Structure 1
């Protein structure tokens, strides 16, 4: 009813119908006919100016040139729970009309805080591909990861530790448990050291086992550099991430109906994968690492039938090994160039400056009792404090937050501060209660023998005075405010 009242009032003062009537009054009869044809889409009905083009099935109400009224109509369609946020234009265009309607709706939505925070990114993430440096020698640089939550076997294992050499692509699979500690992984590392020695570089994700002080101390003492992926950037360890589904696919073909014997198939899985030609090196991992592919039972039977004797004299073997290593590194360089061309297609490089504000994706596991399915897609804003690498930046995430502060540019998006205040959403606070988020502390006073602070709330227009007991969750903001007051007093 309120919208109708505004529309009727706007129709009377709207320059469109007024101009049409004034123009028609000054025209000759023949000109009036042509004039009516020009504005035939507009007509008055039930005290409302309406619009119907030949493409419209039904007439639409013309909204006066009133920015506040138009925003109110868009808000009723876009912000309310019965309207929902998607498809606002197609819903409005059925019943309403004004000039440049699509542009004004797009501007309104671009300034919508809930849409910005909750909508996922549907386009390619910005940032160009920067592959890791190709190793010079075998087993100098390795990558590792865990496949967890597998069915428990008779030997009481439910996870697989996957280790891959970054040059030869040869892999090792070690059965273990999901609860294995950093000390346990260090013992598992004996399986690698006894065959290939200690690596100089290890690439892994930020698993709690790999970020533990014990793990860091061990490899720092032996001179091994630990290269961990940044937050929300699994492709940094893409080699191992790609090996995991390959292994799972193999086991899926041979595991028993009870799925409690998959650990017995790991040796054969390792042999089969290392005997298969790798798409990057164009050679089998056994061939790039050992210089030859070990015989399987079928190949052994074939050689015995043919009575073939292969000579592996030392000089020839060394020459072949060097040729294989050169061919392997050359093939990896070509593969990286192909991947770079494919990955960078339709992507733009995103460069940040220190002090810029950006949002980072919401983590899957926040530690809160609610599900991440209905949580926001983006957190922030956070400020860039330093550039770590070409495409890696550090944000000012508080020390108490479980998120790692270093992010790849593809995981971030620029923060656009909303000029239109949206209805604030209640969130779960650190103590488990539901409330609103404090933006800053603006003032302090004493009332009725108690201390109160002037609180500015996120997405709230009006600040309120709150007793100090209500602000137990934000001691850092109170300390920051008090420090600012002390600095002002010193200047005086």
Structure 2
């Protein structure tokens, strides 16, 4: 089952691909999606029956379906516990960050304007002061500069995006100048710390307004107009995943 060299017949392969995926047995649950959703594994060859009588053993079939679901549920829990244990073996303890401490902000989730490379940007910017600590959820509220708040950066950030600030020894390293804040030159219509664009819709008269659903690194989702997203690299990834090269080629999804 291969797609032709011009990649135009991929639609014809979707049904068979879907069947193959739903027939594959999961390493975690030990069941195929068909078995858990429908209670049985369908055959690619159509079944032929001699009469229209109802099949026997309906209760037995239903009990088997419930037993499969329960076993799959237990298997998923077991796998999650195992994965958590393995992850905790390599997880480092969180840095000791308190209110009034200074920290740097990671720029790895920053969407740059087109033509700029993430590799040439600093990995961290700052330092900024902690004004509120929520260690139970590993989130910290920072006091940001007005120039950054105008760029709509969320001041509440996860500890994974922070790095403690350590003061330099002026005796060993005299005459050090404080680094200036990196100028990303993003206007007020652009957003920082965007994970991905996860959806779109058309609204207004004749579908003139195009909006994108933005997923932020904080877990929030909001809708933004195309004009606010047109220069983001996240938009390039969104269109590439949908196999289109122009905005006009996006499916006409109504709100």
- Give TM-score, length-normalised by structure 1: 0.30
What's the C-alpha RMSD, in Å, of the aligned pairs?
3.4
SS at match of 2:98: coil
Q: Which residue of 1 aligns with 2:2?
A: 254
Q: Which residue of 2 aligns with 1:377?
A: 123
Kindly tell me: are residues 390 and 429 of structure 1, through their superposed partners in 2, closer, same or farther at Cα, counting changes over 3 Å? Answer: closer
The offset of 1:327, in angstroms, is 1.0
CA distance in 2, matches of 1:427, 1:367: 14
Q: Which residue of 2 aligns with 1:154?
A: none
Matched, 1:276 2:20: no
CA distance in 1, matches of 2:66, 2:186: 62
Matched, 1:417 2:135: no
Contact 1:286 1:293 in 2 (8 A): yes
> Of the candidates 323, 328, 339, which is equivalent to residue 67 of structure 2?
323
Kindly tell me: are residues 388 and 400 of structure 1, through their superposed partners in 2, closer, same or farther at Cα, counting changes over 3 Å? Answer: farther
Please list, as runs of the form range in 1=range in 2, the aligned pairs for 1:279-298 lying within 5 A after superposition: 279-297=27-45
Deviations 1:222-258 (Å, cap 9, x if unpaired)?
A: xxxxxxxxxxxxxxxxxxxxxxxxxxxxxxx722211
SS at match of 2:166: coil
Matched, 1:263 2:8: no
Please list, as runs of the form range in 1=range in 2, the aligned pairs for 1:22-171 lying within 5 A after superposition: none
Contact 2:112 2:184 in 1 (8 A): no
Kindly tell me: are residues 400 and 257 of structure 1, through their superposed partners in 2, closer, same or farther at Cα, counting changes over 3 Å? Answer: same
CA distance in 2, matches of 1:312, 1:295: 19
Greater Cα radius of gyration, structure 1 or 2: 1
- Give TM-score, length-normalised by structure 2: 0.54
The offset of 1:376, in angstroms, is 0.8
Kindly tell me: are residues 269 and 321 of structure 1, through their superposed partners in 2, closer, same or farther at Cα, counting changes over 3 Å? Answer: same
Structure 1: runs of 5+ lacking an equivalent: 1-252, 305-309, 433-492
Contact 2:34 2:42 in 1 (8 A): yes
CA distance in 2, matches of 1:377, 1:354: 23
Kindly tell me: are residues 369 and 405 of structure 1, through their superposed partners in 2, closer, same or farther at Cα, counting changes over 3 Å? Answer: farther
> Of the candidates 348, 358, 363, which is equivalent to residue 103 of structure 2?
358
SS at match of 1:413: strand
Please list, as runs of the form range in 1=range in 2, the aligned pairs for 1:199-214 lying within 5 A after superposition: none
Deviations 1:193-220 (Å, cap 9, x if unpaired)?
A: xxxxxxxxxxxxxxxxxxxxxxxxxxxx
> Of the candidates 174, 179, 183, which is equivalent to residue 428 of structure 1?
183
Contact 2:151 2:186 in 1 (8 A): no
Contact 1:368 1:428 in 2 (8 A): no
Contact 2:125 2:182 in 1 (8 A): no
The offset of 1:423, in angstroms, is 7.4
Kindly tell me: are residues 296 and 389 of structure 1, through their superposed partners in 2, closer, same or farther at Cα, counting changes over 3 Å? Answer: farther
CA distance in 2, matches of 1:331, 1:372: 41
Contact 2:125 2:181 in 1 (8 A): no
Kindly tell me: are residues 431 and 284 of structure 1, through their superposed partners in 2, closer, same or farther at Cα, counting changes over 3 Å? Answer: closer
Matched, 1:337 2:81: yes
Kindly tell me: are residues 336 and 383 of structure 1, through their superposed partners in 2, closer, same or farther at Cα, counting changes over 3 Å? Answer: farther
Contact 1:275 1:286 in 2 (8 A): yes
CA distance in 1, matches of 2:156, 2:127: 15
CA distance in 1, matches of 2:6, 2:183: 42
